[in-house]
Every structure is written in C-alpha cells, then in structure tokens.
Chain A
Amino acid sequence: MSDKLRLRFEKTGRAVYISHLDLMHTLQRAFNRAGLPLKYSEGFNPHPLIAIALPLSVGMASLCEIMDFKLKGEETPDLAALPERLTAAMPEGIAVTEAYAFTRKAAELKWLAVRGVLEYDERDPAEMAEELRAFYAQDAIVITKKTKRGMGETDIRPGIREITFTPGEKAVDITTILSAQEPTINPELLAEALRQLRPELAPDFAKFTRIETYDADMKIYR
C-alpha cells in the first residue's frame, strides 16, 4: 500500500484549545476508533507514524491542517470514504475534509492564507482600520521575539505577502497571506507587533483562522 497518505482537516470551535501534543494523542485514538490503526515506529519506545505539517498554536482555528500518516496492514483503505469515517470518530470541532496519497513534500508549503479578527471594545473600528493599514504599509516592522538563541530582533514585514483591513462590528477583520515556513510568521505576531510598537492600536483581543495553504508560486498546496 501507499505509505504516503495525507489528510486535510479542520480544527475549529472548542477543538482550538486542544494543544499540539494532545492533538496527536486525539488523532491516534480517532484512527483506532475508525478501525484504521496507525503504523508504529520500530524501537524501544514505538510511536505512531503521524506528522502534522505546521503545528497550530493553542487558540487558533484552521480549515486547512495537513497531516501525513502511515497505516498498519497491507491494504490501502478506500480514500474517498476516509474523511467521513474519520470525522465520525473525532471530537467536536475536528473534521477531515480530504484524504489522498501525496507527492509533494511538506517543505514545499510556503504561504498560508489567514483570516483574523482584532476586537476593539471601546475604539472606533473604521479609525483603527485606517491606522492599521498605515502601520502595515511600512517597509519594515521590527519586533522583539523569542528565537532559538534567546530574545532577538525580527523584521516580520517580508513575511507578510498581502494584508487587508476591513472595519466590522467592534472589530477589524484582517485577511492576510503570511509566510508559513522560513520564516514562520505566526499570525499572533500581527497583534504582538502592535502591542510592542503601537500599543494604542493593540486590540483587546485577537483571534485567527488558517484558511488555505499555498506553495512558493501561490498555487494551492496539497
């Protein structure tokens, strides 16, 4: 059977609070419940062979998670039936949308389309949207963030391919395309940059949803 199987799934609603590590256990059990036990690694501490392309922060939603997996046994299951079968075995908020044999490496995933909501309880959203546009139109946005070598300065601007702001109900809606890897621009940094550089623009709360995955040429990645 093909060992190169991939799932695309959504993680929304209450499931956004399941951490990456807990999600791995949750998926493993869901595969068992669906009667599709995962293949395990050899060795002293066997672990199931699953890999999630871009781990999601706790609290962030996604419509486009990608997970590679290997199944126990010789036969390839009916891939077309897999999404429904697995979704039925998932906790609330996790839904499998596609299952397929993949060819492209995870490293080819380059851009992520993200939607965000910046909530402003007391401030005027139209005014905020205006200010945000000006802020993000700058050539460089250098923030301090934790890196592998302690705290460091990072310019997040090159990792933002597109970004638009639309005033909404007590909030400003963001639509953006962010670099998914090398460098990884976590959408949370969009709010963090405001907290560090323009605190008067910092929202009372920010939440984000991953919408779609793209390759370096902005073609949809699968």
Chain B
Amino acid sequence: MDKRLERILPRVQKPARYTGGEYNQILKNKDEVDIRLAFCFPDTYEIGMSNLGMSILYETMNSLPFVWCERVFAPWGDMYAEMKKAGIPLYALESGDAVGDFDSLAFSIGYEMAYTTVLDMLDMAGIPLRTADRPGLLPLVWAGGTAAVNAEPMAPFMDLFVVGEGEELDNEVLTLLREAKLGGWSKHEFLTKAAQIQGVYVPSLYDVSYHDDGTVAAVTPRDGAPARVTKRIVSDLDAAPYPTRPIVPSTEVVHDRVSLELFRGCPRGCRFCQAGHVYRPLRAKKPETLIRQGIESLENTGHEDVTLLSLSTSDYRQLPALCDGLLEYCEPRSIGLSLPSLRADNFSMEIMERLQKVRKSGLTFAVEGGSQRLRDAVNKNVTEEDVLHTCSIAFAGGWNTVKLYYMLGLPTETDEDILGIAEMANQILHCWRVNAKNKNRGVKITISTSCFIPKPHSPFQWEAQIPLPEYLRRVNLLRSAITAKNVTYNWHDAETSLIEAVLSKGDRRVADAIEEVWRQGGRLDAWTDYFSFRRWMDAFENCGVDVDFYAHREAGRDEIMPWDHIDVGVRKAHLWSEREKCYRSELSPDCRHQCAACGAAKLLERGFTCDER
C-alpha cells in the first residue's frame, strides 16, 4: 500500500471504504490486459456499492479478457482533504493505482446532483475537465446512466455517452477502444467510428444553434454521426449476464444485501416519471431465473437479506411463485426477503402474510397527489380506497407504520388537492382505530412531500416548476392542515429541486455553471452536508444561466428540446398526448391492459414483444 495512504487512513472516518480488498473483487494482471478501465461512481462508496447497475457492469466489462475494470468512488470530505494535503491522486480500489494512468474512465451518472463530483473526480485524477482539452485518444472519458438521456449539461466534459443499458453496449465501446489503442488511431477517428455504434452519443460531433429567445434552433450532426441516437436495450433479460458473485463490502453500505431485478420498464406511465418512460419497453425475467440467481448470489456472498428490485414490484406477474421459490430457500436459513416498490392498489394479503413469516417492515405508499382528480391527471393509478383497503389489511396484520409520499407543484394542483393530503392521513388514522389488532403499540403515519421537477422524456417535460416561494406556501398550507399527533410531516427542501430542474432541463450552456460551481468548491452536491444553494445561484448568475428560462418556463409544443436527438424509444407525440390528457384529468390504462403504442417496443430484437408472458 502507498506509504502516504497508510499514514492518512487511520485518521479518516470509515477507512475500509478506501482500501478495496473485498471478497469477490476482481483482480487481474495489469500487464496482461490492453485496457485499464476506471469505473467511476460520482458519489461515496456506500452509495456506489449499493448500485445494482455498477455491480452488473463491473462484471460484464471484466468479462472481456483484455479489460481490467476497477472501481473508483468519491472520497468523503475528510479523506478528500487528506488526499489533497498528502498529494495523493484519485486511485482505483482494486490495484490502488492512480486513475490518471488508466486508458479510460467510465462514469455512471444516475442523478444531476452528481455532476460536480464527476468534474471533481477528473480533477483529482489530474485529467483536464473538457473533451476539447484532451487531444489524445487516451484516457477516453465517457459516461452512461440515467443522466445520459439528457447529456447536454455534461456534453463539453465527455468524449462520449452511452445511452441505455450497458451490458452489450459498453463492451462494444471497449472493444473498439482496444482496436483504436493498438492501431494508434486519433481521438477523432475513434469517436467518428464509435458514433456508428447504436447507443453511442458523441456530443462533439453535434453542433447546437439557438434562437434569439434562447430555445434550441437546430442540432446538426457531423462526420456521419446519426441525426438521432437510439437507446440500447437488452431484449432477453433471462439470457443477460447477471452478477451472482457481487463484491461483498467489508464495511457497511446503504443496501447490504442481494438484489434481484424483476423487470425493466414500467407498465404504469405516471406522467411525472422519467424512469417509467426511459426504461421501456417492459421486459420481465422468469421466476426460475430469479430464484436460481438469488440462491447463487446468496451462496456466493453470505448475505442474509435479499430484496426484489423494479419500478413497481407488485406488477410482476409471477410474484407469488417467485416469493414461494425464494422463501423455500430463505426461511430455513433465516434469510430476510424484502419487497420495496409495492403499490397500494394490488397489495395482497397473501404476499404480506408470507413476508411476515420472516420479517415485518413498514408500509410505504407513493400516492403523489392529494386528490383523485390530481392523481388521475398525473396518471397515478392509486385510489384512496386502495390505500385504505391495504392499510386495513396491514393494520389487522399488526403493521403500525405507514409512510406516504407526495409531490407538491404537480401540473394542475390546487389548494384543495393539497388539503386532501391531510384528509387522507386522517382517514388512515381512523382506519387504524377501526382495524388495529393491538392499539397499545400506537401508530405512526409519516407524510413526505417533495417539489415536482419536470424531467426530460416524460410527458411533463414541457412543464414549468413552481417557484420556491409558492412551494413554501403550499408546504405551510399542508402543515397547518395536519393536526393529529400521530401524523408527522416532512418536506424536502426545494432549493435542491430548483437546481435539479435547471440541470435536468439544461442544455450545453449550463455546463459552464456546473464547472463554476465545482471551481468554487462544489462536490458531493447530493449531500446536504456539502450542497450550497448560494454557490449554485451565484454560478448561474456569473455564467449567464437564466434559472427562470430553464426551470420556470413552460415550453411550446413544437419547441426543439435540448435532448430531442436522444431517442429513448417513446415517441415525443406520445408524451405530448399524455400531457394533454393530464389537463383533461384523463387516465391512460396500464399498458399491459391496453398498449398505448408509445414506441418503445421498436427497440426490441425481432422475436421479442413488450411484456412477454
């Protein structure tokens, strides 16, 4: 181990997150690989090691014999300061080698607030931030993840983006990079060839022009790059590689358990939801596959908990069969099975009772809107009846904690809708009084609200966010309406939501402000410990970024969105029609009942259909 590192590790909090050496880490001989890849997660070890995407791609990229893919996370503030003081550059966990010497850095960017950390990690590695300042082929700096569906705010920093699912795509990029490295290609030669791979977006091959009013006039590709970059998906998830030997952290992380991904995509189509639209089409794994992978993973990790992941777990058709199969293995071994993302509407007594055998956790409902009218408008197919019905079963079964999540500032929201949130809490309280088996234990109802953020590629991408003072007025309205002592109200600070709105809907002109925030010391902005609203607002002002233009302006129907040249499958016309239905408070059916022809099915290989049974 580096002597300088050895001296600082005893002084920092939780040093085990900076050492590597965990069980199931992948070690290779660096002299026997052609590409050394730093797989960078722009947040802490605890967050990154809980990310299933990281785990999947770590395995798939390392399956290439000529690649050694190692993990890199962002150090917490104390370690960051010690590394700076000691002159230690960013290093990879497996080898401990400096990332600046690697052939490539691949970032997984899942959320906008990680942008400054991406820049900080580049800087800690001693790599120039902008693609224009990196003339050579190596190191190739690229990124993927949900943030790639609107890559524009980070476009000047990245050599290329991978759009969509990475299992196949990332390996194609790495294979081409190896050819380029061994063949001595120029960076331009590599990028123009890479742009021909479906799913690869090379921002420097697109010129963006703007109208006088600031909206996008045109995005023009050069050197044979496609006019629209189409997202990649894996058609057959049962056949796709899945990490059944994931790394087992030697220190506590956020999700310390085996994760099983039930399906990708979501049949619901909530209109505010980006994930529900950009991960389409719907592809489920077979229960047999999941049970086999679950058991293998448990045996290879020694974990004592397994969790089912998806955007809407109760929509997994074979959930009972899957639970049966897993519990058969888990129960005799005292392994806990947890199911997040259950919906209020089809939560069944049967499943709840099964889970109760092993462990009992709280109930969580994402209700989103305070009235039926508003829930219909945003296409959140949850009724008050559903919630109360589920609660009555749960209370009778001994549960006594309920969490309800809402958004304030959704399109068409009125004060009446907001007061409906408090009303529902009272109804649930009443429901508990009527149904609770043991009232001595009391009941705890928690309401949380966050501020609606319009997201690219969702039906609300044209919407404006409500201004900060208006959000606070709505928070106070709800606060004063909640009187019961068993009901707790938490509200998200909306300052972060405002910054997120600007970054979500941002174009390339926002990049300067991101860099400016980083220059002023911004990093780990997803953490309240480090986030500074003032720093962001100052940077926007200094860089000429008009917050109102990006966050508070309603876009026109025919406006070219900064992300229109990224094709995630769902057609823009579908998104617009969904938005119009919102203003008519009109529901769209669950797409398993009636296909809305959103367009995502075109991404599937021949022979596969959306939501195959």
Contact = CB atoms under 8 A, between A and B. Distances in A.
Decide whether A and B are members of one complex. Answer: yes
Interface of A: 13-15, 17-19, 22, 25-26, 28-33, 37, 40, 46, 58-59, 89-93, 204-205, 207
A91 B7 contact: no
B223 to A, nearest CB: 46
B441 to A, nearest CB: 14
17 contacts: A17-B18, A17-B19, A18-B250, A22-B16, A22-B251, A22-B252, A29-B304, A30-B23, A30-B302, A32-B304, A58-B15, A59-B9, A89-B302, A91-B23, A92-B20, A92-B25, A93-B21
Interface in B261-288: none
B21 A14 contact: yes
A32 B302 contact: yes
Q: Categorize the interface residue count of chain B.
A: 20 to 34
Contacts of B248: 26, 29, 91
A205 B302 contact: no
Contacts of B333: 37
Contacts of A17: 9, 15-16, 18-19
B300 A33 contact: yes
Interface in B298-314: 299-304
Given A29-B248, A92-B25, 16 more contacts: A14-B19, A17-B9, A18-B251, A22-B16, A26-B250, A28-B304, A29-B301, A31-B302, A33-B299, A37-B333, A58-B15, A59-B10, A91-B23, A91-B248, A93-B21, A207-B6
Contact of A40 (B251, B300, B334): B334
B250 A22 contact: yes
Nearest to A14: B21
Given A89-B23, A90-B23, A25 B252 contact: yes
A204 to B, nearest CB: 8
A23 to B, nearest CB: 8
A209 B299 CA distance: 33
Contacts of A37: 333
A13 B2 CA distance: 11
A17 B23 CA distance: 14
Given A33-B300, A91-B250, A205 B7 contact: yes
A33 B23 contact: yes
B15 A59 contact: yes
Interface in B18-33: 18-23, 25
Nearest to A207: B6
A13 B21 contact: yes
Contacts of A28: 302, 304
Nearest to B299: A33
Given A29-B248, A40-B334, A92 B21 contact: yes
Interface string B10-52: 1000111011111101000000000000000000000000000
B182 interface: no
B1 interface: yes
The 3 closest A-B pairs by CB, nearest first: A29-B302, A32-B302, A14-B21
Interface in B227-276: 248, 250-252, 256
Contacts of A46: 334
A82 B303 CA distance: 20
A205 B23 contact: no
A58 B302 contact: no
A194 B93 CA distance: 34
Nearest to A48: B304
A30 B22 CA distance: 11
B537 to A, nearest CB: 39
Nearest to B334: A40
Residue from A29, A91, A92 having most chain B Cβ neighbours under 10 A: A91
A39 B16 CA distance: 27
Nearest to A21: B252
**From A13, A30, A32, A59, residue with most partner B Cβ within 10 Å:** A32
A204 B304 CA distance: 42
B9 A29 contact: no
Considering residues B18, B19, B252, B256, which has the most beta carbons from chain A within 10 angstroms of its beta carbon?
B19
Contacts of A207: 6
Nearest to B96: A14
A26 B9 CA distance: 20
B92 to A, nearest CB: 13
Contacts of A13: 1, 21
Given A14-B19, A22-B250, A33 B302 contact: yes
A15 B9 contact: no
Contacts of B1: 13-14
A120 to B, nearest CB: 13
Nearest to B298: A32
Contact of A19 (B20, B251, B302, B334): B251
A185 B394 CA distance: 54
